[in-house]
């Protein structure tokens, strides 16, 4: 699996979990489970993606700006998750922030896939794409288990 296929798999998982979070928003148990799943997946994905995709791309002049932009969006999403952890689960403020987070996640994934991946494909060799894919999968698995254990 190359890095793009590996990232896409995580993106689809996030999209499915966001959809589950919105469809189960009226049910305490449903939304809590979906939110915990989204949090663990985002935490593992963001860090693994930064280490195995963004960092190698920062080394190339042509992809340094989109890489910085992506990392700053990760930070914005992390702050929303922190706000949600502090707010009362199910309150109007919590629900409003969930809506904003889902919107932001969808924007971020789309931008990565449509704008960033094509740029990255130009600077990473096929061999490097495969190698980074393996590193990503390994790192994601490790970080996901850690995030789940911490919940």
Task: Supply the minimum distance, in Å, between the C-beta of residue 12 and Fe ion.
Answer: 11
Q: Pick the closer one to Fe ion by CB: 31 or 140.
A: 140
Q: What letter does residue 27 receive in the DSSP assignment?
A: -
| 35 in Cβ contact with 21 (< 8 Å) | yes
* Cβ nearer to Fe ion, comparing 94 with 137: 137
Q: Compare residues 21 and 105 and give the one whose CB is closer to Fe ion.
A: 105
Taking the C-alpha atoms of residue 14 and residue 58, their distance in angstroms, rounded to an integer, is 25
CA diameter of the chain: 49
Q: Which parts of this chain interact with Fe ion (CB under 5 A)?
A: 49, 112
**Which two structure tokens, joined as six digits, stand for 3?**
């890095």
- Of 76 and 85, the one with the shorter C-beta distance to Fe ion is 76
In the complex, minimum distance from the CB of residue 148 to Fe ion, in angstroms, rounded to a whole number? 19
121: tokens are 């494909």
DSSP-H helix ranges across the chain: 3-23, 28-49, 55-58, 64-86, 92-111, 117-123, 126-150
**In the block, residue with structure tokens 């740029």:** 119
């Amino acid at each position: 699996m190359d890095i793009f296929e590996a990232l896409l798999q995580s993106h689809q998982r996030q999209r499915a979990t966001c959809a589950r979070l919105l469809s189960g928003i009226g049910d305490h148990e449903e939304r809590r489970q979906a939110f915990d799943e989204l949090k663990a997946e985002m935490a593992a994905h963001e860090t693994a993606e930064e280490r195995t995709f963004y960092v190698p791309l920062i080394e190339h002049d042509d992809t340094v700006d989109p890489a910085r932009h992506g990392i700053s969006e990760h930070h914005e999403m992390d702050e929303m998750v922190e706000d949600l952890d502090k707010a009362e689960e199910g309150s109007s403020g919590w629900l409003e922030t969930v809506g904003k987070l889902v919107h932001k996640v969808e924007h971020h994934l789309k931008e990565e896939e449509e704008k960033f991946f094509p740029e990255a494909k130009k600077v990473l060799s096929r061999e490097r794409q495969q190698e980074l894919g393996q590193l990503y999968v390994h790192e994601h698995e490790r970080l996901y288990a850690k995030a789940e254990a911490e919940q």
